Structure 1
Amino acid sequence: MRYRSIDLNLLVVLDALLDDPSVTRAADRLNVGQPAISAMLARLREHFGDPLLVQEGRKLVLSPVALELKPAVQAWLERARVLTSAKPGFDPSRAERRFAIACSEIVAGFLLPLVSARLTREAPGISITVRTFSAFRAARTPAVEALERQGLDFVVLPGSFTSADHPRRPLLSAPYRCLVWRGNRAVSGARSRHGALDEAAFYASPHIVPTLLDGSVATIESDDALLHRAQRERVVRTEHLLAIPAAIAGTPLIATLPSFVAERFAARESELRVVDCPIALPPLTEVMQWQQTRENDPAYAWFRDLLIDCASEITPDIAL
């Protein structure tokens, strides 16, 4: 089939070559002879007026034009896939799909167990692959890197890392509270039911903060508010969120965490308690994004609603 002077079948070949710039591997992937792929590549080069694949040392790499074409070709083919697979209605109990999602350890630890339980009950044929948000944080636009270049279905990330090119919806929001040892003398009324932590004691105390793989603070978009005037040399940083409760017990360490995280940890560890944070911090806000090309996919719509329902169980008193 041709559309505006190009054989649409060539776009399938172009997509394979853009994904892996190798004529041999594209032939294997598409179960087509290598000479046929070479011939189609020649036609694509003629149509776009560009070599598309260029020799760099002993390998082929994408030309600047090819890099620019890649997201558009992927989006076109995804629209074609949705169109050709469209069926009236969507039955999650019979569906077989896999969704790939990138999120922080906090989202993975608190949201995904709820999602997994719902899938087991309602959609046993639907499975999920979870990637860490840290893997994409260094990109100029993490959401674009995850959704377009890596082909993930969903990302859940702080609002400052989202992309204007893809649909978005706030998923989680929670204030910050402080997790402390019950014997911490910096907390007034430490042994009473309602302890309090003032600003001076907060800044004078050592802190423990969860970090991402690049060492940046994982739960507060700017750690300046938390560590300003604090004794920086007395700050413990860890990539292991679950290690924080054990690290606090019996010490003056303070962890400033989203309220649902701090309260869950305190409920599990009788030696710990949660007190209000004495400084003003913006709440944790996690935003869900998904691929623009799949906006009307009924399976996507169902899975989005499932994530929203599960998130409401974590922060039921916070309307988004």
Structure 2
Amino acid sequence: MRLTSVDLNLLVALDALLTERNVTRAAERMSVGQPAMSASLAKLRKHFDDPLLVREGRSLQRTPLADALVGPVRETLSAAEAVLLRSPSFDPARDKAAFTIMAADYVTIVLLSPLLESIAEEAPHLRICMRPVEADFADQLRSGAVDMVIIPTKLADRKIPFPHEPLFSDRYVLVVDRNHPEVNDSVTPEQATSLRYVAFSGGTVSPITNVDLEALNVHVPVELTTESFVVPLLLLAGTRLATIAPERLALKLVSVAQLRIVEYPLSLSAIHEAMYWNSRDNADLAHQWLRRRIIDTARTI
């Protein structure tokens, strides 16, 4: 088959579909309507003679062939972008740019929300797609599936031998409802371990607090887990539940969610968030501009 007989735009659609595993989100990622994305999926299924995405319960899962295509498709698009999208300049006021950033919802609220506010007029055509942190973050950064990863340095360890820049530090605190009857302005270790918790589960990524508490041989009763840092804080009002949360995030929500922040009496690691990117993007002017703006914003929070 000759390339002239293939609509190469389908490669972009295929990448979005394989990454998102959801037609609606893939359409949003490409700024097209859902019917157009559904039509692209139909064409791709016919071309490969494979369903590519199959329904399992409420979600779509990749077929074995689709799994095998993820890496080659992303590498092909990255190579094409390097050739076709290279520009001798970048003017944020006029040029269009799109980036995918992998980070926890905590980082989105604490860092990226003020970033978007500060660049709204400066870069009106910039589009950022946020994705939650997944266990294969290094592979996704390497393949170009994401442009940047913002995670704690302790979580990255040596898994990402890529350029990086420290952004900000934080610490974990105990958070409860403002009128929690069993928690005053301070708690003892015994009190802290007897409280019932809503906990961040981390999904496929082991939370730092879990690692620290296990090292201390401390086990706290967990009634509910969620793959979000924000949700536990929003569930505390009117309950006797507690959560361990990053202090910067808790301070953002303390008033609206009617919370009380208390010093956690056990030793937990500090949080040191850093931004990682692939060295192939070092010279990309749009990428450079966004990295600088993220770093500048981190210094102001």
Q: For the superposition of Structure 1 and Structure 2, which TM-score range results when normalised by the shorter chain?
A: 0.5 to 0.7
Q: 1:273 to 1:307 in 2, by over 3 A?
A: same
Matched with 2:38 is none
Q: Does 2:152 match 1:158? A: yes
**Residue equivalent to 1:52:** none
Q: Does the C-alpha gap of structure 1 residues 265 and 217 become closer, same or farther in structure 2, counting only changes over 3 Å?
A: farther
Alignment of 1:168-207 (within 5 A): 168-187=164-183, 190=184, 195-207=185-197
Aligned residue-pair number? 247
Q: Aligned to 2:186, what secondary structure does the other structure show? A: coil
2:246 aligned with 1:258, yes or no?
yes
Task: Rate the CA distance shift 1:115–1:25 in 2: closer, same or farther, 3 A.
Answer: farther
Instruction: Using the TM superposition, give the Cα deviation of residue 93 of structure 1 relative to its aligned residue in structure 2, in angstroms.
Output: 1.4
Task: Give CA-to-partner distance per residue, 1:135-168, whole Å, 9 cap, x none.
Answer: x31x3xx222x22335321111232336444211
Q: Percent identity?
A: 23
Q: CA deviation at 1:256?
A: 0.9
Using the alignment, how far apart are the partners of 1:241 and 1:69 within structure 2? Answer: 33
* Alpha-carbon distance between aligned partners in 1 of 2:254 and 2:8, rounded to the nearest angstrom: 54
Cα gap change, 1:258 to 1:74, in 2 (>3 Å): same
Measured in 2, the distance between the counterparts of 1:184 and 1:58 equals 59
CA drift of 1:293 comes to: 0.7
Q: 1:266 to 1:164 in 2, by over 3 A?
A: closer
| Partner SS state of residue 240, structure 2 | coil
State the distance in 2 between where 1:166 and 1:27 align. Answer: 38
| Equivalent of residue 210 in structure 1, options 189, 197, 200 | 200
Mark the structure with the bigger radius of gyration: 1
Give 1:78 deviation, angstroms.
Answer: 5.6
Q: Which amino acid aligns with 1:128?
A: I
Kept in 2: contact 1:102–1:130 (CA 8 A): yes
Matched, 1:222 2:208: no
The SS at the match of 2:273 is strand
For residue 111 of structure 1, report the CA deviation from its aligned partner: 2.4
- In 1, Cα distance between equivalents of 2:229 and 2:65: 40
- Output one character per residue of 1:110-131: Cα deviation in whole Å (capped at 9) or x when no partner: 3222222223121112211122
Structure 2 counterpart SS, 1:263: helix
Q: Do the aligned partners of 2:213 and 2:268 also contact (CA within 8 Å) in 1?
A: no
- Across the aligned residues of Structure 1 and Structure 2, the Cα RMSD in angstroms comes to 3.6
3-state SS of paired residue (1:172)? strand
- Given residue 206 of structure 1, which amino acid in structure 2 is its aligned partner? R
Cα distance between partner residues in 1 of 2:141 and 2:297:
22
Point out where structure 2 has 5 or more consecutive residues left out of the alignment. 10-47, 51-63
Q: Counterpart amino acid of 2:147?
A: D
**SS of 1:173's equivalent?**
strand
Q: Which residue of 1 aligns with 2:6?
A: 28
Aligned runs of 1:292-311 on 2, under 5 Å? Answer: 292-311=279-298
Change (3 A) 1:29 1:264: same
TM-score (norm. length: structure 1)? 0.64
Q: Measured at CA, do residues 248 and 227 of structure 1 come closer, stay the same or move farther in structure 2, by a change above 3 Å?
A: farther
Report the secondary structure of 2:254's partner residue.
helix
Residues 210 and 219 in structure 1, CA contact (< 8 A), matched pair in contact too: no
* Cα 1:182–1:225 shift into 2, 3 Å: farther
